[in-house]
Amino acid sequence: MAPTLAHGFADPVHAGQAVFRAAMEALSRPGRIRPLVTALVPPAPLTPELAALALALTDADTPVWLDAPLRADPAVAGFLRFHTGAPLVANPGGAAFALIADPARCPPFTDFAPGTPAYPDASATLILAVDTLSDADGRDFAEQACARQVFAGPGIRGTAPFAAGPLPADWTARWAANHAGFPLGIDCLFVAPGRLAGLPRSARPVDAETVPGSDGSAGSEALPCTSR
Amino acid sequence: MYVAVKGGEAAIDNAHRLLAEVRRGDPAVPELTVAQIREQMRLLVDRVMTEGSLYDPDLAALALKQARGDVVEAVFLVRAYRTTLPRFGATEPVDTGAMTLARRISATFKDLPGGQVLGPTFDYTHRLVDFGLADAGSPDPAAEAEPEADAAACPRVTDLLGQAGLLEPSPPDEGAPVGDLTREPVDYPADRAVRLQGLARGDEGFLLALGYSTQRGYGRTHPFVGEIRVGAVELAFTPEELGFPVSLGTVALTECQMINQFHGHGAVPPQFTRGYGLVFGQGERKAMAMALVDRSLRAAELGEPVAVPAQDQEFVLAHCDSLQATGFVEHMKLPHYVDFQAELELVRRLRAEHAARAAAPAPASDESPLREAAE
Amino acid sequence: MNPPNPAVARATVTVSAGAGYNFAYLDEGTKRMIRRAILKAIAIPGYQVPFAAREMPMPYGWGTGGVQVTAAILGAADVLKVIDQGADDTTNAVSIRRFFTATAGIATTTRTAEATVIQTRHRIPEAPLAEGQVLVYQVPIPEPLRFLEPRETETRQLHALAEYGLMHVKLYEDIARHGHIATTYAYPVEVAGRYVMDPSPTPKFDNPKMDDCPALQLFGAGREKRIYAIPPYTRVRSLDFEDHPFRVQRFDRPCALCGAEDVYLDEVVLDDAGGRMFVCSDTDHCETRLGETRLAETRLADGHTGEAA
């Protein structure tokens, strides 16, 4: 029996709008976690949230790059091609969007397009499906590679703590370099079951030592952490 | 007591109803049909199709009726409709060499294979008002047309010159995707295909004046009309699922190939260069003006100085679109009283300071209720 | 021949924009294209993102950029407010509000506090904006350097290099000539310490409201095909000099209707003998204050003095 293709949005107009607005809010208020509710049941390891953002934001005009786990099952490419029409590209440097199901093995940011000085918008947006996502202060974290940073900058009133994982061990250094290249750089959307957060390149990592109320250890380094 | 003006909604509704009534004119006079406009105002319909960049004579005629004959307004209606249409893809390039000719003239050769075909033209009419046209009536039948000229026997003049190497070749079709300025904002410098798109959609009056300016010394290009041909060409489209071209029908086109002197540079020997114009229907004035401006916009590519408006692609492309131009010029009708208030305050203050400087004991100046305070 | 029946010939024309068009008019592909531009605009505050603006059913210059941005973000649950010159009832504000009522069937309001999306031309509302609100500006000329350098190829380089000396020279020349910076509206700002941006032709009176604003600010220029953004809580600094700090207009009298001070006023000419009065440009602000006054008066009359504001 041929596998049936998973459905797209039941109501593409309003579902697409709702997902976009969630993404817009997420990038407007870096690090703040927002609900992202979707009824999609895409082929694994494409998560419902990754699928929702892909359907809302990509189409024939946006080359999309898939990470290795997503490439491994052709059903994922089939689902995305059918519902978005987006060309799937092998070279991450040619992608407008990158869908990443295994964020711990996210390729270096330098593999993706950072834009050009004249057109910094010609840059990639990474959408990472993480297990944990936290914008709470404090350390309710257990043993998992998780990047925890405090950010300041546009969209942030004062400072905002943000943690996500699993992410590569050098994530905080990567982000510092990404921000230092502003206005060039990549932008990230993080999804977890039912939730979404954003980190635009404008998000500036701040030295936790100087952040009042911080425990001082939450600076630019990867810490073992988890949260639910 | 002053009361703020209200009632914008009612005013708009009433204005729309009045517009509809005025558009109809005297109801005792029979109403124009779309078919009448399409058949008897054909050059106007052609212009609206060209600048509206949509080949649909009935729609253009209807737009003209709705627009009370205002060309730019009709172009606007067609463009706004066009943006709502799904885009299936790009057709195969049309072959104007295979055109079914209604008219074909060359100013560069007295005679040439296929001959000169005068066709329907105002060129040698005496512009005397024909009062007979005020009454209904049918014109005398036209002379019996000769059998349609065999396309193979009517090669394009530019092809004849090209064979001898006297004229630069047409740029080769490398199959690269052609830009579409309706789908991507123009990025300067724009390539020639995008420039030609902009010019084809551009306002006829604007291009006419620019083309004219090149003939009066603002970037002289020594142009000759290699050929103007008017007629019908077949349009073919290759659907993805079929993989071979299918005919969509024919469209009427006017093509102008301007031939311009060029002295050569570096490795390029002296040869003639091209300026190109193409419009829907019969629109020789626009096609010729477009060809003049196209050639001027190639200045940088041909190593010529870019010094005059017609050579400056940002100047030409950013200002040739009648909708953009009319929108921004006419938007000055919208209220600007907030900004004007800000300017009024500044001018009052500057005048007060001027008066204070002019007369030692400062006279009472124009009273201003505004002053500036630190933020 | 029968004369045409005048009753038939005079059939009225009503606009039924809703029928046959997608929610909020734009097709989904166009919305996605605009939405992607908005996301990049937010990520690069103050940078003008090129986008393939569509030809809209209203003229360029009438707010096509703002309308496209609004159409791309609007959802069925949004409450839309549209103002022009600060007023909800100016003809073009009415026209744009009706466009969205007809094509999206969404709720509209004139109350700033009730709106989730506010489209504006030339003003920022007097009432402070809140988190969760989006302010959409209609922009005629998005390029702050355009009147100093007409070429896009040049201004793009100047932004890439953050080379804004031209603008400072222009402002300084104003001071040398007039003793003041002679820019009263569309006063340039620096966003988040990087891009110099045109705030659209709002009076400079409104510039301070853009700084550290809790609402998201989006800017749409249709004819010029650019979208840009100021995320919430972003530093927006009006360009100035140490010896000539940025100043806003202040009116030395309150609104003649509601008595509001420290608001932007319209000058209304009453007669041809120099009679004029000054009233709030923000009509909702004025009406809200008048309503509060009336409410207070009613309560006073009813004896509820304790609640009078």
Sequence-distant contacts of B142-149: CB under 8 A, at least 24 apart: B148/B100, B148/B101, B149/B101, B149/B104, B149/B114, B149/B115, B149/B117
With CA atoms as reference, report the closest residue to C80 among C111, C57, C124, C102.
C111
Q: If contacts are CB pairs under 8 Å, which of residues 62-81 in chain B contact chain C? A: 76, 79-80
Indicate if the alpha-carbon torsion angle B51, B53, B57, B59 is positive or negative. negative
Q: Is A85 on the interface with C (CB under 8 A)?
A: no
Query: CA of A213, closest CA in chain C: separation in Å?
Result: 20
Tokens of C61: 């210059």
Q: Are C249 and C238 in contact (CB under 8 A)?
A: no
Domains and CATH numbers, chain C: 28-238 (3.40.50.11310), 250-301 (no CATH)
Query: CA of A138, closest CA in chain C: separation in Å?
Result: 24
The answer to whether C28 contacts A13, with C-beta atoms less than 8 Å apart, is yes
| Per-residue pLDDT, A228 | 36
Question: What phi and psi, each to the nearest 5 degrees, are found at residue A205?
Answer: -70, 135
The answer to whether B350 contacts C180, with C-beta atoms less than 8 Å apart, is yes
Query: CA of C160, closest CA in chain A: separation in Å?
Result: 5
Q: Which residues contact B129 (CB under 8 A, 6 or more apart)?
A: none
Alpha-carbon distance B368 to B353, whole Å? 12
pLDDT higher than threshold 90 for residue C26? yes
Q: Which residues contact B181 (CB under 8 A, 6 or more apart)?
A: B190, B194, B197, B198
- Supply the mean pLDDT for chain C: 89
Alpha-carbon distance C9 to B128, whole Å? 35
The answer to whether B334 contacts C92, with C-beta atoms less than 8 Å apart, is yes
- Best of A24, A25, A62, A126 to disrupt the C interface (most C CBs within 10 Å) is A24
With CA atoms as reference, report the closest residue to B63 among B88, B41, B94.
B41
Weakest-pLDDT range from A181-195, B47-61, C7-21, C229-243: C7-21
Which residues of C are less than 8 Å from A157 in CB distance?
214, 232-233
Rounded mean pLDDT, C126-147: 96
pLDDT digits (tens, 9 = 90+) for A199-210: 999 999 997 544
Q: Is C251 on the interface with B (CB under 8 A)?
A: yes
Burial class (CB within 10 angstroms; exposed 0-12, middle 13-18, buried 19+) of A137: middle
When pLDDT is cut at 50, 70 and 90, the band that residue C161 belongs to is very high
C274: left (phi over 0), alpha (psi -120 to 50) or beta: left
Alpha-carbon distance C96 to B185, whole Å? 24
pLDDT digits (tens, 9 = 90+) for C32-54: 999 999 999 999 999 999 999 99
**Cβ contacts from B onto C, under 8 A:** 194
Query: CA of C219, closest CA in chain B: separation in Å?
Result: 17
Which residues of C are less than 8 Å from B371 in CB distance?
249-250, 252
Query: For the residues of A93-118, what is the DSSP string, one character each?
Result: GG-SEEEES-GGGPPPGGGS-B--SS
Q: Is B373 on the interface with C (CB under 8 A)?
A: yes
Helix (H), strand (E) at residue B348: helix B337-358
* Residues of C marked as catalytic: 46, 255, 258, 280, 286
Q: Indicate the residue of B336, B342, B369 with minimum beta-carbon distance to C204.
A: B342
Residues in C whose CB is inside 8 Å of some CB of A read 22-23, 28-29, 31-33, 35-45, 47, 49-50, 72-76, 156-157, 159-161, 191-192, 194-195, 214, 216, 230-235
Burial class (CB within 10 angstroms; exposed 0-12, middle 13-18, buried 19+) of A207: exposed
SS3 call for C297 = helix
Highest mean pLDDT (candidates A19-33, B121-135, B292-306, C294-308): A19-33
Alpha-carbon distance C209 to A80, whole Å? 43
Query: CA of C305, closest CA in chain A: separation in Å?
Result: 40
CA-based end-to-end distance of chain A? 39
Rounded mean pLDDT, C155-162: 97
With CA atoms as reference, report the closest residue to A21 among A40, A42, A39, A36.
A36
- Which residue type occupies B162? G
Question: What phi and psi, each to the nearest 5 degrees, are found at residue B326?
Answer: -70, -35
Which residues of B are less than 8 Å from C10 in CB distance?
20-21, 24, 27
- The reported pTM is 0.89
Q: Indicate the residue of C62, C84, C268 with minimum beta-carbon distance to B2.
A: C268
pLDDT higher than threshold 50 for residue C230? yes
The answer to whether B185 contacts C6, with C-beta atoms less than 8 Å apart, is no
Weakest-pLDDT range from A8-22, B247-261, C173-187: C173-187
Helix (H), strand (E) at residue C276: strand C276-280
Which residues of B are less than 8 Å from C250 in CB distance?
370-373
Q: Is C270 on the interface with B (CB under 8 A)?
A: yes
Tokens of B93: 């390039």
Rounded mean pLDDT, C109-133: 97
Which residues of C are less than 8 Å from B335 in CB distance?
84-85, 90, 92
Weakest-pLDDT range from A88-97, B359-368, C257-266, C268-277: B359-368
Q: Compute mean pLDDT per 10 residues along chain B, 375 residues long, and list them.
A: 63 92 95 97 98 97 97 97 86 92 90 87 90 86 67 79 83 83 92 96 98 93 93 92 91 96 78 95 98 96 92 96 95 92 90 86 51 50
Q: If contacts are CB pairs under 8 Å, which of residues 110-169 in chain C contact chain B? A: 121-123, 140, 150-153
Rounded mean pLDDT, C290-300: 76
Cα angle A140, A143, A146 (rounded to 5 degrees) comes to 75
Name the residue with tokens 């039924």: C16
| Per-residue pLDDT, A142 | 46
Q: Indicate the residue of B16, B324, B371 with minimum beta-carbon distance to C252.
A: B371
Q: Is C28 on the interface with B (CB under 8 A)?
A: no
With CA atoms as reference, report the closest residue to A155 among A12, A21, A25, A17.
A25
With CA atoms as reference, report the closest residue to B297 among B368, B212, B367, B196.
B196
Q: Is A3 on the interface with C (CB under 8 A)?
A: no
Q: Which residue has the higher pLDDT, A218 or B280?
A: B280
pLDDT digits (tens, 9 = 90+) for A113-130: 999 999 999 999 999 999
The answer to whether C248 contacts B372, with C-beta atoms less than 8 Å apart, is yes
